[in-house]
Amino acid sequence: MNLSILVAEQVGLVILLAFALVNIPAFRRMLVVSNWQSQLGLWLIFATFAVISNLIGVLIAPDNQIIKRTLLLSIPQGYSVANVRILTVTVAGIVGGPLVGGGVGLTAGMFRAFQESFSPEAMFYIPSTLLIGILSGFFYDQRRQRFSPLKALNGFFIGLLMESIQMTFVLLFSPTGWTLVKFIGLPMIVISALGTSVFLSIIRLFFQQELAAQAAQTRTVLNLALSTLPVFQHGFTTAAAQTVVHLIIKYTTFDAVSITDRHWILAFEGV
């Protein structure tokens, strides 16, 4: 089994998550509104996915043999896991800030240590993922400028940096150290960076489309206003009302439009 392919499959799940999330209005509001409710919601979403990432990771024996398991409810001491936990923590920090990133990182790290029954060899996952979540959160302010998520290229390099930090911790504190890093380091760093880039690209694309739609609506309103204002210069007559109704139908997607006074229908057009 190829490690790169197995990790890429996990990244695919993250991409599906991104597509699902951006279509949920509540999630989009969390990205726009900065308050404790939004931060709590983002933490719940990304912490849940970080836990899932730990559960569906690729189990690796001390001799770098890949062990096939469906769910990693527990991990034998001395074994390691290749997963997309850091990708999830990184994106959480970028879209939610240091508090959200740190909270998701702490949750992910504690669950990873829990999988090894909080053995001393696994405790380094807690500070490493906490640090990564906080550091990625420092890019949050840049994302907030003009309400635009980070560009994909920036996300790629941030992903590279954060996964490299994790590999440094693995090198220094894991029982298998360099033996493990030389086996999982390159595919994990590159694939995680690509996943971060794609995730942010999806969010960015969605908001660009939303902004384009809002701009189109604004242009429609302005054109309608410029067309209707001259019509009423000579008074609010039935003829003027009929002209305005026709213009509203022309510039909008309404099926029917009517203008009335308190007693009579002055103009109507549509189905």
Q: Is the dihedral of CA 49, 52, 57, 62 positive or negative?
A: positive
CA angle 121, 186, 2 (to 5 degrees): 90
Residue 52 tokens read as 């899932």
Summarize the chain as % helix, strand, coil (round to 5).
Answer: 70, 5, 20
% of the chain at pLDDT higher than 70? 96
Look up the pTM and report it. 0.80
Cα separation, 239 vs 266, in Å, equals 8
Residues 71-109: tens digit of each pLDDT = 999 999 889 999 999 999 999 999 889 999 999 999 999
Task: For residue 151, report the phi and psi dihedrals to the nearest 5 degrees.
Answer: -70, 155
**114-152 pLDDT, tens per residue?**
999 999 999 999 999 999 999 999 988 644 444 456 788
Q: How far is residue 248 from each of residues 218, 226, 268, measured CA to CA in Å?
A: 14, 12, 11
As a whole number, the mean pLDDT across the chain is 88
> HSE on the CB side for 214, CA within 13 Å?
6
* The pLDDT of residue 141: 60
Question: What is residue 19's predicted lDDT score, i.e. its pLDDT?
Answer: 85
pLDDT given at position 1? 59
- The residue behind tokens 């933490």 is 43
